[in-house]
Structure 1
Amino acid sequence: MAEIERLLLIAPPRMNRTPAFDRAAALAKVKSASLHIVAFDYVEGVAKAALANDEAIHVMREGYMDRHRHWLEMQADGIRHLGVQVTTEVVWVAKPFDEILAHVRGINPTLVIKDLHHESWLSRAFFTSLDRRLLHDCPVAVHLVASVRHGIPRKILAAVDLFRVDDHFAHLNDQIIITALRLAEQCDAQLHLLHAYDLSYIHSLDGGSGYRNAVMDELYENQQRAFSFFADLFGVPAECRHLVTGNPVQVIESFMNDHDIDVVVMGTAHRDWMNRLLGSTTAHLVNHLPSSLLTVIPRADETPNAQV
């Protein structure tokens, strides 16, 4: 008998129902998975209440957490009516990242679901957000939800990179498309396959002799062949294949807006130390993501695994 999947929803510290709740409930339903909801509380005014002794602060903290537990249970009851097994938890912690990883190790979920918080460019320049840290370091797939048009996704986009693939992550594109196909099947959703590649560096070549144009034409033909072979391999219909030249982040964002994509499935590979410092395509995209992102973690030592 197959083991039941478990999903982990990171609820916001404030007691408000966010898009991630709707997506987590819908995915738990279609996957026949259990759902654990955890909120990480920390209220500065309660933690350092003026004119209060330690016992009074403890009472205030426990009172706040009790109200949050009650609120979470009310949300969980609504999800339980869908036939989903739901548990809830409230943890008092100032910096939740380490605690999230501890929960991942403890309950071994197949997927961590969290609301996406768009950061200003100034914040990104000086601070690493919790979302970006999860993209880099979470050992399981992460589903970041910016907005939800449909609880159950209706259109899913698999964004692959066939132009430059490190040997170390040779199976990553396979893992992305298999993950997207399985999710589309579970949700009865339409799957689109997109390969966006940037040839802007070719413009630095001397174009006076026509050499630059010849190189670009040859590269484009090679990409067409590789993309067609890849799409054929996984049975993607012709009308759902999209090969686009341009900056990958801009191409993916525009495509998601133009085609009402609910979820984009991407990898979290970092090709070299410089790209890791500057951020991958996936990390850059989250700053502008119009709907939701599902990550696939590259595992070079395994055959493609689509269990998310």
Structure 2
Amino acid sequence: MQKLEHILFLSNPTINQDAAIRQVKQLCQATGARLTLIDVVPKTNPIWQKYQESLGDVEGQITKQMRNELQSLEADFRQSGIQVKSQLEVGRAHEAVIEQVKQAPTDLVIVNAHHGQSLKQAFFGSTALHLIRKCPCPVMAVRSGNRQPPQRVMAAIDLTSDTGFEANRRSMNPDILHSAEYLGKQLHMELHVVQAWQLENEGYLQLRGGLEDNIMEELMKDMRSEFVSITDHYCSEHLAQPLSPGQRHVVHGHAAHVIASQSQLHDIDLLVMGTVSRHGLKGLLIGNTAEEILSVTDCSVLVLKPKDA
């Protein structure tokens, strides 16, 4: 994400989307990006046809109300000096958004993270989760209680040296850093970087390795020092401005738990991370680190995809 030129916002007036609307306005006004508003009329339940005489044209009534709401929102954005257009689709929300992204170059999709008390409630089975899994461009899910103005953005990078599927995700580290730095500059947020680490086969070594406690402590100390050095070097290489020690967090533990706890500890407003979509049944059942993080963190989240997603 080098520059935002076109943002798509999925509107859903049935829930509190004030925070998402503010976020969209801030980004459009700061970057000059043009905006597309989209809302999606759900397909009529066939059972309604049995009651058409008494209920009347239910689908028509719903469509008219949604169109009016969308036009009102469009006028609000236009009054804020934003170049905007709106469109009303029929079907499933995430499918309509993805189709739009395929038809017109889109730099960012913004969606409300719903009003649940946690992102586990908000994302599981939701439109946002479908978009995070399947949308080819970056997706920002804005939590309804998002602080205004946002003050801190955190980039979650992964500098471990595994290969294969996870290595593909780690190739996104530069984009994660650049995107977090870009958004931090546009919205005047302080940039933080988090790197989680664990000793390879750590659990096995502790349980069956027969290592004395002092040896294990030395191994852990050396590993942390190595990751601190790697992280500092990588950030210096890819960021325009240096980070202070208080902005760089190299923490031992499982990635999802570390990232979630650090975002809470440092009062992060927006978390930037990468994911590699998994398709089919495996993707639905297994998910990935990004989805683990979504289930335990409580800030807004920007999820990036590989360039060839």
More displaced, 40-49 or 231-240? Answer: 40-49
Q: Which residue of 2 aligns with 1:288?
A: 296
1:6–1:35 Cα contact (<8 Å) kept: yes
Report the CA distance shift for 1:66/1:47 in structure 2 as closer, same or farther (over 3 A).
Answer: farther
Where 1:298 maps in the other structure, the secondary structure is coil
Q: Which residue of 2 aligns with 1:265?
A: 272
Report the CA distance shift for 1:180/1:122 in structure 2 as closer, same or farther (over 3 A).
Answer: closer
Match of 2:141 among 123, 144, 158: 144
Give the drift of 1:176.
0.5
Gaps of 5+ in 1: 302-308
Where 2:21 maps in the other structure, the secondary structure is helix
Name the amino acid aligned to 2:27: L
Give the drift of 1:140.
0.4
Give the drift of 1:14.
2.4
CA offsets 1:195-221 (integer angstroms, 9 cap, x no match): 122348413214533354443333222
Say if 2:230 is the partner of 1:230. no
Q: Which residue of 2 aligns with 1:304?
A: none
Q: Which residue of 1 aligns with 2:257?
A: 250
2:176–2:272 Cα contact (<8 Å) kept: yes
More displaced, 153-162 or 253-262? Answer: 253-262
2:39–2:93 Cα contact (<8 Å) kept: no
Give the drift of 1:170.
5.5
Where 2:177 maps in the other structure, the secondary structure is helix
Name the amino acid aligned to 2:259: I
Say if 2:158 is the partner of 1:161. yes
Where 1:50 maps in the other structure, the secondary structure is helix
CA offsets 1:253-305 (integer angstroms, 9 cap, x no match): 2222222211000011369x99955222211121233121111212379xxxx
Between the aligned partners of 1:217 and 1:16, the Cα distance in structure 2 is 46
Between the aligned partners of 1:221 and 1:25, the Cα distance in structure 2 is 42
Q: Which residue of 2 aligns with 1:116?
A: 113
Say if 2:96 is the partner of 1:99. yes
* Divergent runs of 4+, >6 A: 119-124
Q: Which residue of 2 aligns with 1:215?
A: 219
Give the drift of 1:131.
2.4
Gaps of 5+ in 2: none
Between the aligned partners of 2:228 and 2:10, the Cα distance in structure 1 is 40
CA offsets 1:206-257 (integer angstroms, 9 cap, x no match): 4533354443333222212211211222222332111111222222222222
1:37–1:89 Cα contact (<8 Å) kept: yes
Between the aligned partners of 1:173 and 1:68, the Cα distance in structure 2 is 40
Name the amino acid aligned to 1:32: G
Give the drift of 1:178.
0.7
